[in-house]
Amino acid sequence: EPEVTQTPSHQVTQMGQEVILRCVPISNHLYFYWYRQILGQKVEFLVSFYNNEISEKSEIFDDQFSVERPDGSNFTLKIRSTKLEDSAMYFCASNEGQYYEQYFGPGTRLTVT
Amino acid sequence: GEDVEQSLFLSVREGDSSVINCTYTDSSSTYLYWYKQEPGAGLQLLTYIFSNMDMKQDQRLTVLLNKKDKHLSLRIADTQTGDSAIYFCAEGYSSASKIIFGSGTRLSIRP
């Protein structure tokens, strides 16, 4: 069964460093998303992406964040200068577009020290 | 505004039914979901209900929707140890829109 994959599973970085989190959505899907979950808190929407542009973003998704689909398979989230409060589990999801279900990847745990 | 609320913990005896409750504020939600998150794992869609439905049954799972009170519940019949997880209630507005999650209910099973 096709699935969303994410790499790395765990990333440790120092405050102020740039990180890139990578996702490979399901191949025929058209909509892509990033969510994050700070430990013990809700899963929060960050951004959605369709047709090579951002379709919606939350107030969390400020200028420090960017997304890209550099080729036909990868979908990346870049955090330009990480802060301690960026430590969280980051989930990628994809959706075919016609149906309701968003398929989530296993997540990348980002730890900022 | 968009807000989804759930109680944080639920403990049930193995074999009993579990009922996890959720309230939401946005009446324009079209889809209401239940996701399961096992320790260290991602989010797995368990079931969903469209806002024009009152009930949906899927094997051991029963979803009830009271649209007037904006109340959603998930009943798990014959709860097993494998059902231990965090259960998230969530809402969406269209097939491709963002999903708004509740805070999650941690279900623990006692022997």
Question: What average pLDDT does the segment B52-80 reach?
Answer: 95
What does the pLDDT read at residue B94? 79
Per CB-CB distance under 8 Å, the chain A contacts of B89 are none
CA distances from A39 to A36, A93, A97, B17 (A): 10, 19, 30, 28
pLDDT score, position B1: 58
Q: What is the average pLDDT value for chain B, to the nearest integer?
A: 91
Q: Check if the beta carbon of residue A68 is closer than 8 Å to that of residue A76.
A: yes
- For B10-33, the pLDDT digits (tens) are 999 999 999 999 999 877 778 899
Residues lower than pLDDT 70 in chain A: none
Could you tell me the pLDDT band of residue B105, with boundaries at 50, 70 and 90? very high
Answer whether B42 sits within 8 Å of A45, measured CB to CB.
Answer: no
Phi then psi for B83, rounded to 5 degrees?
-85, -5
Q: How far apart (Å, rounded) are the C-alpha atoms in residues A31 and B40?
A: 25
Band the pLDDT of B41: cuts 50, 70, 90.
Answer: confident
What pLDDT is recorded for position B101? 94
Asked if B42's CB is within 8 angstroms of A105's CB, the reply is yes
pLDDT at B3: 85
CA distance B81 to A51: 43
Residues of A with CB below 8 A from B97's CB? 48, 56
For residues B60-81, average pLDDT: 95
Residues in B closer than 8 angstroms to A102, CB to CB, are 45, 99
